[in-house]
Structure 1
C-alpha cells in the first residue's frame, strides 16, 4: 500500500506539530507545507523534508490535507480542498457560522472523500476511558457535568482576539466543550445560556460562562477564560456526577473515578496527536474507528452559534430535538 501524500495547510504552531508528528507514522509522507507566509512554510518544510508552497493551487502531489488556519479561513479552505478532491483533516471549528458549515458539509459529501474533525480530546486515552465508563454505566445515570478551562499566554496569534478572523473564547474553546459533552455523555444539548466578557479595548470575548440543559434532563456548566500578556499554568477541571459515582479529569491527564467501592486514579501519557493522524489515515483507507465526522463539526458550530446568540440577546436559546 502506497504512502498517503499529506499536505499541511498552515505553518503555525499546530501545523508544525502535525507535520512533525506525521513523519513518525508509517504509511504517511508529508509532501507539502502551505502558508501564505512563505518563510514560515519554508521553515516547517525544511524540518520535515517537504516542499514549501504559498497556496494549495501550487501543490500538485497531494491526496490528503490537514487544515490548521485561522478560524475565518476554514470555510474557503474547505471548499477549495473539496474541489480538489482531497481527503481532509480539519481543526476545530469547522467554520465560523452555521451557514458556512452547511455548505462545507454538502461540498464534502459531494467530493466523495474522507473528512475528519480534529477534536483533540477524542484521541486522548483518559477521555476515551471516561466515555467508556459512562457508556457502560460505571457511574450510573449522569445528571451534572462541569467543564472549566482557564489559560493565559504572554504571546498568542493576533487573530485569536479579532472577531472578523473568527477569534474570541467562544470560538476558540466552546466547540471543544460542546463536542466532548455530547461525545462523552452520549446526550444532546437541548438549550444553552451564555454570558461573555468583552474588554473595552477589544472586539471579542476573553471569558465566557455556559449553562446547558440536555435532552435527558441533566444539566451542565462551563467557565472559559483566557489571560493575555502573561504566562500562567493552564487549568482544566472536568467533572461528571452520576447516580452511582463521579468522574474527574484535569490538565495533568489524571482520571479519577469515585464510586461506593472507593476512588481509582489513572495517569495517561499516550501521544494523542499521533493517534489523531493515524485515525485519519485509517479513515481515508476505509477503517471505521469512530472518528469525529464533519457532521460533528457542524453540530459544535451550531451550539457555539447558539451560545453567541444567547450572550448577545441575554436569554436561553433552544437547540431543538437535533440528536445525531
Structure 2
C-alpha cells in the first residue's frame, strides 16, 4: 500500500506563512498609533498598556462589537478599507456614553481566506479609526477558517477600553423632567440594520451594487457603505464644561431601545419626530420593502446617531459648541415626568 502524501496545514486550507508575511508588512502601520502608554510591542502573548497618570479614581469602560453584515457589501464591491473605521467608531461611541476617553483598541478578523492585500486594507481602516479617536491599536487576532466561512466571507470584531474618573461617569441617574434631548445627525445606517437593508436593496429591488439612485445622489453601495460617524471628538470636550445628564448611542434597537437605557425611574423621554431631517435612504427602504413604521424605528437610527440629555438652560450653548465642532445638531424632544419609557410622537 503506497504511503500517503504528507498533509500540511496549507493543504488543509490555512496558509500560516502567507498570513505571517502580511502581518509583518502591517507592523509599522499599527505602531504609528502607539502612544507613550503602550508598554509592549506587537507579537507579545498579551498586550501591555500603562494606566495614564493624573486620575484620582479611574474607572475602566469597555465595549466589544462586530461590523455585522455590512461586510457583505464590502465584499460585493471589493473594498474593505472602511469597515475598520466602522468598528472603531462604533465601539468608541459606546464607551463615550459613559464619558470615557478611549485608551486602546484590539481587533479580531476571521475569514475564509486571509490574503495579504485584504488584511492590509482592513488594517488601514482600523489604523485610521484609531488615529481619529487618539487611541492605540495594541494588538489583535486573525483566523483563517475555510470550514466556517464561505469563500469571500469574513467577520470583523473590535474591543475598546477607555477610562473615566469615577465621579465624572455619565450614568443617566441625574436625568430629570425638564431636561432637553439634543440629537446628533447620523451618516446613514452606520453599522445596524444591514441584513434588512441588503434584503430590500439587493433582493426585493434587485439592484446591483453600482446602481445609481437619483434620490440618494449616489450608488446604493456608496450609500450603504457610509462610515459610522464618531461623536467622541465633538462630545468629549463638552463634558468638562457642561452638565451632561445622560447620553445614548443609537444602534440596534433604534431610538426607542437605546434612549431608554440611561433613563431613571419616573422619567419619560418625548421624542418629536420631524424635528430633524431623515436621510432619504430610510424612506426609500421603507417604501420598497413595505416596512412597518415600528420596525423602522427599532431597526435603524433614522438619521440620529447619538443623543445627549442636558439641562434646558445649557441646551443652547451645548448646541452651539457641537455645531462649531462640525456636527448636525437638533433639538429633538424633552424629558417629562412619567413612567420610564420612550415615546416618539
TM bucket (normalised to shorter chain) is under 0.3
Q: Which has the higher strand share?
A: 1
Give the alignment's TM-score, normalised by structure 2.
0.24
Give the alignment's TM-score, normalised by structure 1.
0.25
Larger radius of gyration: 2
